[in-house]
Amino acid sequence: MNDSKGMTASNKAILVAAFLLLAGAIGFAAWRDASSTPNAPAESPDAPPSDQLAALEARTRSEPGSADAWTALGAARFDLSDFTGATAAYEKAVAISPQSSGLWSALGEARVMASERDPMPAAALTAFEKAIALDAKDPRARYFLAVKKDVGGDHKGAIDDWFALLADTPQGAPWEADLRRTIEQVGKIHSIDVADRLARTQARPLAADEMPVAARAIPGPSRADMEAASQLPKGQQDAMIQGMVDGLEAKLKANPGDVDRWIMLMRSRMTLGETAKAAQALSDGMAANPGAATRLKAQAQLLGVPGA
């Protein structure tokens, strides 16, 4: 695309839809949707975002060869809508860990969001293609490659690709509802009837090792808890949520071998929009449970934890 032409109104709508779709996968989930400032960084009871960012930057200086450190910094910068900074951090991460499809797709997304005019920069496309080469099922890369088709004029092809992604999406995946909404929105924009196909589409049954099976049975904050908290005054919201997450973390300190609780902590962090903390929970959980690293990583991928 010639970026001198800028984005059309349709392309802008697609990118908005893209951002909403990836919300579940990158952390801007129900909690942020209920707020009046959806692009604001998630608050922390421990330190202001600037202090957290400084700590993450310090970690990359002390651990310049750590993909985890650069991934956490990239996720934090993305949370702060510093997409250029997120791109730079993810580029460092993929240079260290080039075999991670999740890192390549996170880099591609950051490059898309950093672009002010071109809805699919060549560098972003390259990152998504590398992600797909490593993992043909990477949902973020598949989504954005369909976006590429749509902004190129192949609206039906894009919708077909999104339906294929929907067919592979497990029941309860964070992006499922937003993917359906995206298909509806793009169909409406381009006068393509998708209602019957959506009605016939059923979510894929969960495999035995996929996240919601384990996590739903773990005591701790659920999306319903978060939504209930959103009805409280802000101070009570913060106290309620922090109490739940603190309780979960306390259990992990007492028993770091509880893999299911690490999964729940990742889900809680993603629901709160704390993607950097979710990435740290993945790293800590794998360090404490090397024998369960494959399972933790698979579940983190389902949640959309950066770098998974």
* Tens digit of each residue's pLDDT (9 = 90 or more) over 187-226: 999 999 999 999 888 766 655 455 433 333 334 444 455 4
Please state, in angstroms and rounded to a whole number, the distance separating the CA atoms of residues 141 and 125. 9
CB neighbour list of residue 244: distance below 8 Å, 6 or more residues apart = 220, 221, 225, 268
Contacts 24+ apart (CB under 8 A), 30-38: 30/223, 30/226, 30/227, 30/271, 31/226, 31/230, 31/271, 31/272, 31/273, 32/273, 34/227, 34/230, 35/230
Does residue 42 register a pLDDT over 80? no
Per-residue pLDDT, 234: 58
Per-residue exposure over 98-133, b if at least 16 CB sit within 10 Å of its own CB, e if not: eebbbbbbbbbbbbbbbbeebbbbebbbebbebbbe
Instruction: Please provide the average confidence, as pLDDT, over all residues in the chain.
Output: 75
- Structural domain boundaries in the chain: 3-303
Domain 3-303 classification at class level = mainly alpha
- Measured between alpha carbons, how far is 274 from 233 in angstroms, rounded to an integer? 21
- pLDDT value at position 118? 87
Confidence of residue 67 (pLDDT cuts 50, 70, 90): confident
Measured between its terminal Cα atoms, the distance across the chain in Å is 30
Q: Mean pLDDT: which of 9-18, 35-44, 147-156, 290-299 is highest?
A: 147-156
- For residue range 112-167, what is the model confidence (pLDDT) as tens digits? 999 888 889 999 999 999 999 998 988 889 999 999 998 889 999 999 999 999 98
Residue 87 has pLDDT above 90, yes or no: yes
pLDDT digits (tens, 9 = 90+) for 217-247: 334 444 455 455 555 565 665 666 667 777 7
The share of the chain scoring above pLDDT 70, in percent, equals 69
